[in-house]
Amino acid sequence: MARKKRVDNDIHTNISYSQVDFWLLLSVVLLVGIGTMMIFSASTPSSYSKSPDSTAYDVLKTQIVYTVVGIVILFVVSMADYKYLQPLSIVLFAVATGLMAAVFTPIGITLNNARRWIDLKVITFQPSEILKLAVVFFMAYVLSNPTIRKKAVGLWGIFIFVVPVALNVLMLVKQPHISCVIIIGLITGAMMFAGKVKWYTFAVTIALAVGAVLAILLFVKSNEGLSLDYIVNRFAAHSGDAADEADTYQATQSMLAIGSGGLFGKGFGRSVQKYLYLPEPYNDFIFSILAEELGLVGVLLVIVLFIILILRGYKVSRNAPDMFGALVAYGITTNVAIQVVLNLAVVSKLMPVTGISLPFFSYGGTSLWIMLAGMGVVLNISKQSRYSKF
Amino acid sequence: MTSAKKDHKIRKTLFAKDSVTREKNYAGGFNVLTRVLFLLLMLVIIANFAIIQIVKGDYYRQQANAQQNAWRTIPAGRGTILDTNGIELAVSVAANIVTVDPSVVKSAAVNYVKNYIAQPGDVYSDAAAEDMYRRLIAKDLAELLKLDEEWVFEQVSAEGRYKMIARKIETDLGDRVKAWRSEKHIKGVYVDEDSKRIYPMGSLACHVLGFTGNDDQGLVCGVEVALNKELTGTNGRIMTSVDAKGNELPYDSVRRIDAVKGMNPVLTLDANIQAIAESALKQAIIDYNVLEGGAVIVMNAKNADVLAMASYPDFDLNDPYGKPDWYDDPDWIGNATEDVQILSTTVWRNKALTDTYEPGSTFKSISAAIGLEEGKVRPSTMVTDSPLILRGWEINCWKKDGDHGNETFADAIKNSCNPILARLALDIGLDTYLSYIHGFGFYDRTGITISGEAASIMHDDPSDIDLAVMSFGQRFQITPIQMATAYCALANGGTLYKPRIVRELRDQDGVTTKVYESVALRQVISQRTSSEMMEILEDVVASGTGSNAYVSGYRVAGKTGTSETLQTQSTGRYIASFIGIAPADDPEIVVLVMLDHPDVESGASGGRQAAPTVGKIIEKTLEYMGVARRYTELDRKAMMVKSYVPDLSEATLEDARILLKRAGLVMEVPGLPEDADLTKIMVAAQVPETGQYITEGSTVIVYTDAATKRTLTRVPDLTGYALTDAYILLNQLGFNMHAENIGTVVAQSVEPGTMLERGAVIELRVENTNTESMG
C-alpha cells in the first residue's frame, strides 16, 4: 500500500514537492532532440549553399549551442520556485514592452520588409518571443492577485490588461508580425477565459479588437504599398484568387514534401525538397521535411509527443497549488498548443502561410530558450503539484 | 472501497479546503473545453496528413519526382537472334551515347573560365564565360566525334536538359570522350551505355533476319519485325536528383534503373544449312545466268521447320542501305526515298515468301497425290498421253515429237505428261480437287512467323478448263513457302504442318520462356499415298526429268518445274524450279529451288538448272546432318564407271577444267586466289598423272607451281571394308580409288601407314561376297 501511504502524506503536508512531471519532461526532451536532428537534416543544403565558404554544418553547429544552452535554462528555471516570479511579472511585462519599442530604435533590424529583431551585438533576437511569455505572466498576475483581480475581472480590466497588451499588439502590427498578433490575441483571450473575467469585459474587449482590425484594414487599403498588404496577398493566394504563383509556391512545395513522404518516408536525411525547393526548410516548414523523411509514422510520433506535452501541461495547471501557478501553466501550455496547431495547419495547407514557428523544432535561439524557460516554469509548478497522482 | 474511489474522495475534501483560489475562479470547465478543442484540432490535422501522405501520396510523389528528377535514357539492348544450334545471328553490342546537359554547362561555365582559362586580373562577364566554355566543348566534341562544330554548339547552348550528341558510337570512342572530359575538367557532358545491332554473319539469312532502324526497332522484314515486341527490351534510366537550380544533388544523386534486354529468339534455321543453301543459290545464279534472282527453302520434312531460307539478290545486314553492286547510280544515298524503293523491290525482297509464281510441273505431285488418295489411279495404272481436247482447247504433252503414248501412271509423272494429269483432275472432279488444294494450304498464307508473306492468287470460280490446267500447275500463283510446306506433307506421311522458323524464346539467362510448338494442321493424304508418291518421285530423279538432282549415296525424290511468267511471251522469262526430298525412304529434308529467268542457250528448265542445285544442297545438307550414305545398286554401278585421267601439261587452268569435266572429273587447284584468271595460268603439275583410270566424279589436284608443298596423308588399312565404305573414307582423306569390281576389299596397292599426297590413286583388290547388301 505504498500508494496509499503517499496520499496520506499529501494530506498532512498539503504540498507534495514531489518529482517533476515525468511525461512532460520526457516529451520536451524528445521533441528538442528530434527537433535538433531535423534541423541538421533540413539545413544542410541551405547551409552549404549560403556562401562559398559555408559548410553543411554551419546551421547545425549554431543550433547545438542553442540547444545546450536551452536545456541548461530548462533545468535552472525548473529548480527556481515559480512563486518568486509572481511579483516579477509586471517587471517582465514592462521589460518586454520596452524591448518591443526598442525594435523601432536604431538597434532594431529590418529583414524581409519586417522590423522584428533587436541586435544587441552579442545576440540578435525577436522581442515578440519574450512578449508571449510576458503576457502570460502579466495576465496570470493581474487575474490571480486577489486585490487587482477584483477590478480586473470587471470593466477596469480594459485599462488594467487590455490596453497594455493592445499597445504591444499595435507595435507588432507596425513591424509587421501578423502571426504573432494572432498568437498574442489568442493567448490573451484564453487567459481571460481561464481567469474567468466578467462576460461584459470580454464582450467589450472583443468589440474593441474587431474595431481595431477594421480600422487597420481601412488604413492599409488607403495606403497601398504598405508592408502589411503581404498578409492580404497571402490570404488571397490561399483562397485561389491570386494570380501570383510565388505566393502559393511555398505551400505547394510543402505539400510535395509531405506527400512524397508516404507512410514510412524516404529515410532520415533523404529529403529532396529541402534542396532549395522548399524555402526555409529548417524554419517554419521544418515539419514538411520531417514528413518527407520520416513519413506518416514520424508525423504521428511527433504529434503524439506534442499531445502528451500539452495534456500534461494542462494537468499541471489543474493541479497547481495556487491560481497564479494554474494560470501560468495554462498560458504557457496554450501558447505551445496554439503554435503547434497553427504551424501544422499551415504546412499542410489548411491555413494560409503565416510565419509561425514550430516549438522546439524551428531554427532559432531566442524562441527555443524562451520556450524551454516556459517549460521550466511549468515543470517547477508540476513539482509543487497538490495532487500529483491524479 | 477501491483505492481509486478513495483517492477521489480525498481529492474532493482537499478542494473544499482551498476553495478561495481554486475551483471557483479558474481551470475546471474551461480547462476541459481547451483540451477538447485542442484534441479536435489535432485530429483534423492528423487526418489531413494521412490524406496527403497516403491517399494522395502518389499524386504528390509524381509531382515531386517531376520537378526533382531529370533523366537520361539507357537504351535496352535488343535480344540476340540465335540459330538452332545457338549460333548468334543478330546481337546487340555495347556502344556509347553522348549527351550534354546545357543547363549544367551554363552553370559550370563561370567557374571553369575562372579556374582554367582566366589569367590573374582577367574579368569576364557571365555571358562571355558561357560562350567560351560552350565553344570549347563544341570544338573538342566535334573533333572527337567527327561532327559539325556549329551543330554541337547549338546543342550545347540549347534550352532545357539532356541533348543527344551522338548515338551508337564505339565504346573506345566513348572512353576517349570520358578521358577528354576528366582531363579538361568538363562538366555537363555524359557518356552512357547504348547498344548497337550487329549481324556477325553479314548477309547470311538477311531476308529471314531483317534489320533495325536507328531507333533499334525492326524495319522492313524478317524476324526483327515479326518479333519486334519480344526483341525490344525495356529502356533503363539514369535519374539524377536535382535541386531547384538544376544542380545534381551531392549525395544519392544518381539512381540507375537498369535496362532490361529483350528476349532471345531461337530459330529453327541452321546457319550451316543456310550457308550451304546460299552458296548453292549464288552458284546457280552465276552458272545459269539467272536474271531475276531466285529462292531456296530447306525444310525439315517431318514438321515443316525451316532449316534454311535464302533469296537472291541479297544484302549485307550490317549495311542494309548500301548500293547493290549491279546498280549504277553515282548519287546513291541509301535512305533517300527512291533508293529505298529500289532496295525494297530488289535486295530486301524475300522471294521465298513475297514472290508468287506459277508452280508448273512441281504441282503435278500434288495432283497425282490427290488422284492416288481418291483411288482414281494406281502407280501401275496404264494411262495414255494423247492430247486432251476440252471445249476446243487442246492440251498436249511437252514432248515436241509426239507424246509418251501409253505408260504407267508412275512413268507419266516421271515424264511429266500434262494430258494425263488433266484427265485425272477432271476425273477427280472440281469440288473434290479444290478441297484437297485447300487441304494442302494453297489458299491460305502459311502464317510463318516472319513478315512479308504474300497471298496466293487462285481462281475465284474455276471452270473445268481451269481445273485441267491447274492440275499441271499453270494459271495460278502460289508462294515458294506454300509449295515447300505442301511437299513436306507429301513426304512425311500426309500431315500438313504450319511452317515454323522461330522455335523458342529465351531470357538473358538462357532459360526458355516460351516455346513455339510445331503445329500439325491436318492430315491431307494417307501414309500409303505418301509412300507411293515418294516412290514415284524417287523415280523422277533416278531416271526421269529430275536426274540432275541425283546424289550418290542418298535416295533423292523430287519433281521439276518450268513455268511461264507474265513476261514469258515478251522476254522469254521462265521460272525453273525443283523440289527435292531426301532420303526418299525416310524423308528428312525438303529442298525447294526457284530460279527466276535463267538466261541460257539451252533454255530455262527446272531439270537442267534447279535440279542440280537441289542435288548439291541435299548432298551437303545430309552430309552435314550426319545422314549416312547408303549406296544402292545404282550407286555402285556408277562407282564402277571409270574415267581416264587426261594429260594436262601445257594447258591453261581453264583448258584443264574443260578437259577434266569432259572426262567426268573435278579439278581442284590448291591455293588458287578466288579472282584468278583461269585462262592466264598454266598447269605445272597434276595428281594423279595421266594414263590412269579412276572412279568417275573423282578429283584431280592441279598445281600451278611445281614447287608447291604437297599435303601428305597417312594411307589407312582398308582390308575388310565394303568397297563403298572404302570409297567414302578415301574420298574424305583426299585420295582417289581404282577397283575392278564390287565387294569387300582384300588388298590395297599402298601399304597402310604410308604417307601419300592428296589425289594419289590407291588400287583396291575386291572380292565379291554377299556381305555388302543393298542400302
pLDDT at residue B683 in the model: 87
Lateral strand order in the sheet of B305-312: B305-312, B294-300, B589-596, B574-582, B557-564
- When pLDDT is cut at 50, 70 and 90, the band that residue A245 belongs to is very low
Task: Tell me how far apart the alpha carbons of residues A319 and A10 are, in angstroms, rounded to a whole number.
Answer: 13
Burial B397-436 (b: 16+ CB within 10 A, else e): beeeeebbeebbbbbbbbbbbbbbbbbbbbebeeeebbeb
CA contacts within 13 A on the Cβ side of B670: 19
pLDDT at residue B685 in the model: 86
Looking only at the bridges linking them, the beta strands covering B589-596 and B685-687 are: unpaired
**Average pLDDT of span B713-728:** 82
Residue B343 lies in a domain: no
Residue B226 lies in a domain: no
Same domain for B433 and B555, yes or no, is yes
- When pLDDT is cut at 50, 70 and 90, the band that residue B23 belongs to is very low
Task: Tell me how far apart the alpha carbons of residues B241 and B71 are, in angstroms, rounded to a whole number.
Answer: 9
pLDDT digits (tens, 9 = 90+) for B92-117: 888 888 988 888 888 788 888 888 88
Last residue of a domain, one of B578, B593, B625: B625
A237 pLDDT above the threshold of 70: no
Q: Which grid coordinates are listed for B348?
A: 530486301
The beta-carbon neighbor of B30 closest among A48, A193, A299 is: A193
Q: Do B14 and A341 touch (CB under 8 A)?
A: no
- Residues constituting chain A: 390
Closest alpha carbon to B108 in B255, B241, B252, B246: B246
pLDDT at residue B621 in the model: 93
Same domain for B594 and B657, yes or no, is no
Instruction: Please indicate whether residue A371 or residue B115 has the higher confidence score (pLDDT).
Output: A371
Q: Does A264 touch chain B (CB under 8 A)?
A: no
**Average pLDDT of span B540-550:** 82
DSSP 3-state percent helix, strand, coil across chain B (nearest 5): 35, 25, 40
Residue B340 lies in a domain: no
pLDDT digits (tens, 9 = 90+) for B207-224: 999 988 877 777 778 899
pLDDT digits (tens, 9 = 90+) for B644-661: 888 888 888 888 888 888
Q: Which grid coordinates are listed for B305?
A: 521447320
pLDDT at residue B309 in the model: 96
**Average pLDDT of span A81-92:** 89
Chain A, 227 to 246: residues with Cβ < 8 Å from chain B are: none
Same domain for B427 and B510, yes or no, is yes
Judging contacts by C-beta atoms under 8 Å, the chain B residues touching residue A4 are 3, 6
**Average pLDDT of span B181-188:** 86
Strand partners, B727: none
Residues 6+ away with beta carbon under 8 Å from B264: B79, B80, B81, B82, B505, B506, B507, B508, B510
Give chain B's radius of gyration (CA, Å).
40
> What is the chain B residue with the closest CA to A260?
B61
Same domain for B125 and B45, yes or no, is no
Looking only at the bridges linking them, the beta strands covering A124-125 and B218-219 are: unpaired
pLDDT at residue B14 in the model: 43
Chain B, 658 to 677: residues with Cβ < 8 Å from chain A are: none
Q: Are B72 and B162 in contact (CB under 8 A)?
A: yes
Same domain for B532 and B655, yes or no, is no
Side chain identity, residue A388: S
Judging contacts by C-beta atoms under 8 Å, the chain A residues touching residue B42 are 303, 306-307, 340-341
Task: Tell me how far apart the alpha carbons of residues B742 and A231 are, in angstroms, rounded to a whole number.
Answer: 117
Instruction: Please indicate whether residue A320 or residue A50 has the higher confidence score (pLDDT).
Output: A320
**Average pLDDT of span B42-60:** 89
Gap from A330 CA to chain B (nearest CA, Å): 8
Handedness of CA A287, A290, A292, A296 (dihedral sign): negative
pLDDT at residue B244 in the model: 62
CATH number at residue B706: 3.30.10.20
What range does the domain containing B189 cover?
A: 72-200+231-262
**Average pLDDT of span B497-512:** 92
Q: C-alpha angle with apex B312: B311 to B313, nearest 5 degrees?
A: 135
Q: Which grid coordinates are listed for B499?
A: 511452317
Q: Does A64 touch chain B (CB under 8 A)?
A: no
Task: Tell me how far apart the alpha carbons of residues B666 and B656 are, in angstroms, rounded to a whole number.
Answer: 10
pLDDT at residue A48 in the model: 65
pLDDT digits (tens, 9 = 90+) for B464-477: 889 999 999 988 99
What is the ipTM, given to two decimal places? 0.86
> Comparing B17-21, B150-154, B426-430, which segment has the lowest mean pLDDT?
B17-21
Q: Are B412 and B420 in contact (CB under 8 A)?
A: yes
Scanning the structure block, which residue is given the C-alpha cell 521460272? B575
Task: Tell me how far apart the alpha carbons of residues B196 and B91 are, in angstroms, rounded to a whole number.
Answer: 8
Instruction: Please indicate whether residue B43 or residue B758 has the higher confidence score (pLDDT).
Output: B43
Task: Tell me how far apart the alpha carbons of residues A296 and B49 are, in angstroms, rounded to a whole number.
Answer: 7
In percent, how much of chain A has pLDDT > 70?
83
Strand partners, B574: B564
Judging contacts by C-beta atoms under 8 Å, the chain A residues touching residue B4 are none
pLDDT at residue A390 in the model: 40
pLDDT digits (tens, 9 = 90+) for A319-341: 888 889 889 999 999 999 999 99
Residue A373 in 3-state DSSP? helix
Q: Does B7 touch chain A (CB under 8 A)?
A: yes
The separation between CA A252 and the C-alpha centre of its own chain, rounded to angstroms, equals 24
pLDDT at residue B337 in the model: 82
Q: Does A390 touch chain B (CB under 8 A)?
A: yes
B327 pLDDT above the threshold of 60: yes
Q: Which grid coordinates are listed for B159?
A: 534550352
**Average pLDDT of span B677-699:** 83
Q: Give me the phi and psi of B62, to 5 degrees please.
A: -60, -45
Judging contacts by C-beta atoms under 8 Å, the chain B residues touching residue A144 are 21, 26
A112 pLDDT above the threshold of 60: yes
**Average pLDDT of span A27-53:** 80
> Comparing B6-15, B107-116, B166-175, which segment has the lowest mean pLDDT?
B6-15
Task: Tell me how far apart the alpha carbons of residues B689 and B465 are, in angstroms, rounded to a whole number.
Answer: 61
pLDDT digits (tens, 9 = 90+) for B576-609: 999 999 899 899 999 999 999 888 877 888 888 8
Residue B80 lies in a domain: yes
Query: What is the count of residue pairs from A and B with beta carbons less than 8 Å apart?
Result: 150
- When pLDDT is cut at 50, 70 and 90, the band that residue B351 belongs to is very high
- Enumerate the domain spans of chain A: 18-383
- Residues constituting chain B: 775
Residues 6+ away with beta carbon under 8 Å from B578: B362, B546, B549, B558, B559, B560, B561, B592, B593, B606, B607, B610, B611, B613, B614
**Average pLDDT of span B249-268:** 77
Round the average pLDDT of chain A to a whole number and report it. Answer: 81
Q: Does B30 touch chain A (CB under 8 A)?
A: yes
pLDDT at residue A228 in the model: 55
Same domain for B161 and B246, yes or no, is yes
B436 pLDDT above the threshold of 90: yes
pLDDT at residue B773 in the model: 38
Scanning the structure block, which residue is given the C-alpha cell 483571450? A189
In percent, how much of chain B has pLDDT > 70?
91
> Comparing A167-171, B303-307, B440-444, B492-496, which segment has the lowest mean pLDDT?
A167-171
Q: What is the rounded (10 degree) CA torsion for A84, A88, A89, A94?
A: -170
pLDDT at residue B444 in the model: 92
Q: Which grid coordinates are listed for A226?
A: 504598405
Chain A, 344 to 363: residues with Cβ < 8 Å from chain B are: 344-345, 348, 350
pLDDT digits (tens, 9 = 90+) for A263-285: 888 888 777 777 767 777 777 88
Residue B577 lies in a domain: yes
- When pLDDT is cut at 50, 70 and 90, the band that residue B666 belongs to is confident
User: DSSP of A140-157, one letter per residue?
Assistant: HHHHHSHHHHHHHTTTTH
pLDDT at residue B772 in the model: 38
Scanning the structure block, which residue is given the C-alpha cell 496547431? A341
Looking only at the bridges linking them, the beta strands covering B761-767 and B736-739 are: parallel
Residue B619 lies in a domain: yes
Round the average pLDDT of chain B to a whole number and report it. Answer: 84
Q: Does B286 touch chain A (CB under 8 A)?
A: no
Residue B300 lies in a domain: no
The separation between CA B362 and the C-alpha centre of its own chain, rounded to angstroms, equals 26
Q: Does A318 touch chain B (CB under 8 A)?
A: yes
pLDDT at residue B495 in the model: 95
Q: Does B19 touch chain A (CB under 8 A)?
A: no
Q: Are B576 and B595 in contact (CB under 8 A)?
A: yes
B294 pLDDT above the threshold of 90: yes
Q: Do A296 and B54 touch (CB under 8 A)?
A: yes
Interface probe with A: pick from B33, B38, B63, most Cβ of A within 10 Å: B38
Instruction: Please indicate whether residue B357 or residue B402 has the higher confidence score (pLDDT).
Output: B357
Q: Does A33 touch chain B (CB under 8 A)?
A: no
Q: Which grid coordinates are listed for B96?
A: 556509347
The separation between CA B86 and the C-alpha centre of its own chain, rounded to angstroms, equals 13
Chain B, 253 to 272: residues with Cβ < 8 Å from chain A are: none
**Average pLDDT of span B314-336:** 82
The separation between CA A160 and the C-alpha centre of its own chain, rounded to angstroms, equals 24
Question: Where in chain A does DSSP place strands (E)?
Answer: 108-111, 114-119, 124-125
Gap from B185 CA to chain A (nearest CA, Å): 20
CATH number at residue B541: 3.40.710.10
B17 pLDDT above the threshold of 50: no
Q: What is the rounded (10 degree) CA torsion for B620, B625, B630, B635?
A: -10
Closest alpha carbon to B557 in B624, B490, B604: B490
- When pLDDT is cut at 50, 70 and 90, the band that residue A12 belongs to is very low
Residue B260 in 3-state DSSP? strand
Same domain for B689 and B762, yes or no, is yes
Q: Do B52 and A256 touch (CB under 8 A)?
A: no
Closest alpha carbon to A24 in A333, A326, A302: A333
The beta-carbon neighbor of A300 closest among B14, B46, B67 is: B46
Q: Are B298 and B208 in contact (CB under 8 A)?
A: no
Task: Tell me how far apart the alpha carbons of residues A208 and A198 are, in angstroms, rounded to a whole number.
Answer: 16
- When pLDDT is cut at 50, 70 and 90, the band that residue B758 belongs to is confident
Looking only at the bridges linking them, the beta strands covering B666-668 and B699-703 are: parallel
Question: How many domains are there within chain B?
Answer: 4
Burial B363-385 (b: 16+ CB within 10 A, else e): bbbbbbbbbbbbebbebebebeb
Residue B772 lies in a domain: no
B613 pLDDT above the threshold of 90: yes
Same domain for B37 and B130, yes or no, is no
**Average pLDDT of span B737-750:** 82
- When pLDDT is cut at 50, 70 and 90, the band that residue B24 belongs to is very low
Q: Are B485 and B299 in contact (CB under 8 A)?
A: yes
Q: Are A282 and A367 in contact (CB under 8 A)?
A: no
pLDDT digits (tens, 9 = 90+) for B278-289: 999 999 999 899
> What is the chain A residue with the closest CA to B8?
A390
Interface probe with A: pick from B19, B40, B60, most Cβ of A within 10 Å: B60
Q: Do B10 and A295 touch (CB under 8 A)?
A: no
pLDDT at residue B489 in the model: 95
Residues 6+ away with beta carbon under 8 Å from B77: B92, B94, B195, B233, B259, B261, B262
pLDDT at residue A92 in the model: 92
* Distances, alpha carbon B330 to alpha carbons A317, B324, B334, B680, in Å: 100, 12, 11, 33
- When pLDDT is cut at 50, 70 and 90, the band that residue A224 belongs to is low
The beta-carbon neighbor of B38 closest among A259, A310, A327 is: A310
Same domain for B48 and B78, yes or no, is no
**Average pLDDT of span B532-543:** 89
Q: C-alpha angle with apex B461: B456 to B464, nearest 5 degrees?
A: 105
User: DSSP of B140-154, one letter per residue?
Assistant: HHHHHHT--HHHHHH
**Average pLDDT of span A199-225:** 80
pLDDT at residue B190 in the model: 87
Q: Does A332 touch chain B (CB under 8 A)?
A: no
